[in-house]
Amino acid sequence: MAQAINKTGKIIKGISGFYYIYVVGSGIYECKAKGIFRQKKMKPLVGDHVTIEVLDEENKLGNLVDIAPRFSELIRPAVANVDQALVIFAGHDPEPNFQLLDRFLVMMEYQQIPVHICFNKADLLTKEEQDDLCGIYDAAGYQVLFTDAQKGTGVEEIRSLLADKTTTVAGPSGVGKSTLVNCLMEDAVMETGAISEKIRRGRHTTRHSELLYLGENTFLMDTPGFSSMYLPEFEKEDLKNCYPEFLPYSGDCRFLGCSHTHEPDCAVKQALEEGRISPVRYENYKYLYHELEQAKKY
Ligand SMILES: Nc1nc2c(ncn2[C@@H]2O[C@H](COP(=O)(O)OP(=O)(O)O)[C@@H](O)[C@H]2O)c(=O)[nH]1
Ligand SMILES: [Mg+2]
Ligand SMILES: [Zn+2]
The CATH code that applies to domain 5-70 is 2.40.50.140
What stretch(es) of the chain map to CATH 3.40.50.300? Answer: 74-222
Question: Mean per-residue pLDDT for 92-101?
Answer: 96
What stretch(es) of the chain map to CATH 2.40.50.140? Answer: 5-70
Instruction: Indicate the angle between helix axes 177-192 and 155-162, nearest 10 degrees.
Output: 70
Share of the chain above pLDDT 90, in %: 69
Strand partners, 18: 15, 32
What stretch(es) of the chain map to CATH 1.10.40.50? Answer: 236-296
Ligand 2 geometric centre to CA of 224 (Å): 7
Share of the chain above pLDDT 70, in %: 89
Nearest CA to ligand 1 atom 10: 176
User: What is the reported pLDDT for 192?
Assistant: 44
Nearest CA to ligand 1 atom 12: 174
Spell out the alpha helix ranges (H) of the chain.
35-39, 98-110, 127-138, 155-162, 177-192, 194-200, 236-239, 247-250, 267-273, 279-296
Q: Is the Cβ atom of 173 under 6 angstroms away from ligand 1?
A: yes
The structure's pTM equals 0.89
Cβ-contact 51, 36 below 8 angstroms: no
Q: Is the Cβ atom of 92 under 6 angstroms away from ligand 1?
A: no
pLDDT at 204 over 80: no
74-222: CATH superfamily: P-loop containing nucleotide triphosphate hydrolases (3.40.50.300)
Torsion sign across C-alpha atoms 258, 261, 266, 269: positive
DSSP state of 240: G
Question: Mean per-residue pLDDT for 92-108?
Answer: 95
Position in ligand 1 atom list of the atom nearest CA 172 = 20
User: What is the reported pLDDT for 297?
Assistant: 67
Name the band, by pLDDT with cuts 50, 70 and 90, for residue 186.
confident
Architecture of domain 236-296: Orthogonal Bundle (1.10)
User: What is the reported pLDDT for 1?
Assistant: 55
User: What is the reported pLDDT for 151?
Assistant: 95
State the greatest distance between any 2 C-alpha atoms of the chain, in Å, as a whole number: 78
